[in-house]
Structure 1
């Protein structure tokens, strides 16, 4: 990562750097078995102490003191719980004799009184014990934090006492004392962020002996107990300002010492304020972290005093619309991370900061600057934009298309589509509208003509069908008497003389050829009869 960017990291320090030759050794648990006539004589190395983890006296297992052969010799009695599997927990006694000592000497037979009646009479018992040799941790150690070049230290939290189980206070130690529920024995601590901050804050490194903190905590824990220090600190990359009277705010967090800004009196003397500018569309978040003043107030009991609007002005923040806000010394508060700070968020992408040098110099202040919100985006072609805070609407000029965006964590969330491909250039908007209107009229006329044509065809079809039906009906109708007597019939002859009507001749001939012989005689007879009636 670029060295000029912020490098912030946190370390929860439970394992401190040991002074010169002091080192940490891995803790090993020893499991041993001692017979009834033997002695338990453990010895730890220099600077180490005994911690008893488990101690049982009886007939628990087959091993060096009780063999498999001895069990088989008793036959079925080996299944008797008073013969095998019986034992007494003697951890409390062994802790009293050996815990927190470098060595001890215990005769195993002395434990018989504690285990009386647990196993059958006359049986040989043995001791199974687990213990560790622990180094006297956290004694004479030194807190030596170190930051890289261009970074400064910031103590975020520091507690001194017996807060947690770890390298300096083990579970075995707590169990050894058997009083871990006593608040004076475990869970007791003192907040030492202020004294550590005075020696380490705004520096690249410091050197503090842990034993020096004992004077500060007093009797917060029981007397004679070993205490340890838990501290959380950060190494912050501090921006070195140039000779100008401005700095930029970006998405990357930047830290600057307040004294760096307040000392630039030449800016004010030249009629300029120190300016902080963010990219267009973003706002500026400025956090003032007070490193020790609030802690002093708390210790002196001043926190209970009646609050005033602004007890002392440390500086002002001005905006583009000429509004301003005072930075007050009583405006700081401790957040959930135990940081004493005061935050300001601008309503524009440019602010002007003025700090009172004397007030800043007497109060250790670190200023954190960053840009928040989303930048303005480049407006797409043939679109309009409307932004309100963290929300934005983008629409097309030629269509009703709209897209809605929302700013989430400095990034616009949403989708921007493309306007219609038929979008015209601004100087052709009117002609495009006229063309669209003409096209609509032509479409309407064409539709009317089509509907009319379909109607005419449908009506013609109905008329034709009706005519055909009428003709078929008239052809099939039989002749009536009135028709026969009233209608003038043509004259026909029985011989081969020509007929008066050629069409009738064709009809008669065709009819005669298609009918059989009897039918022809009937026709002839019918014609003669008609002729006689007419004459």
Structure 2
């Protein structure tokens, strides 16, 4: 198969896995009168990487005298047998004289036999279901390459296996592989690589890679290598749309604007959160309603002030009428008789009242 590594829009988060990130493989030798025991920390599971049964080499179970006799080096591969009992469990025990184990021997009888078992502890892994695309969310998940090969529904004509990963819209996929059995090889026959929807391809060899795509295809080319595939969705969900506003998003940048004005603001996605100013938009109809309410309020205030002014004036005239001499109070007692009391004027002293011409024919009335 011709393979060309193309440029992929990626961000390398970690250049190399540190030594502490590598899996620690533990090897246990169990003699025929002992019990094999393996245990992993909480939330981790066993994976048997290799298991043998026989008189393999000089060890605590086999004296070096057998090496001189040239009787060592015979064993049976019981990896699948032990794996079927221990894989994906937190702890496992197998007797050194287990019937199934002992029946697997193909060496000369009478020689000391023992089990040589190697295992690693892995985080909990997800499983392939119905050969569908693996859903990627914000929680980091793990998938074992062995499970992908065992499903037999992802093979292509070149006997490579493929699995698709899909995240929600506008999210990016962060993925890496760690070799449990075997090691990365520069040759394409031993490569693990991912391809995005645009056909761009990049090989994976223990580095974390962010792919600016919500969908990708992972390809495995060597079923004898066992790799742990870690994947996670990162990025921001679409920002919530405020009332009376629109949202436009381009990658990690979002623009929010108001329908009824030219006001808009921008936000950027950092990690999984939107950073930037937050504002609101108002409805144009609400603005009109507010203006109408303010106008009615002003009008009502003007009416109240006018009515109050008129009532105050009338009260003032009534008060002046009641406090004037009797004859003047008589004429002024009726505030509506404007022809009489508005034209009446006091002249000279307060006892002289000049009446209008049409009242008592212009005579002067002397108040006593």
Pick 1 or 2: higher relative contact order, CA cutoff 8 A, min separation 6.
2
Structure of higher CA gyration radius? 1
Shorter chain as denominator, the TM-score bin is 0.3 to 0.5
TM-score by length of 2: 0.42
TM-score by length of 1: 0.30
| Structure with more strand by fraction | 2
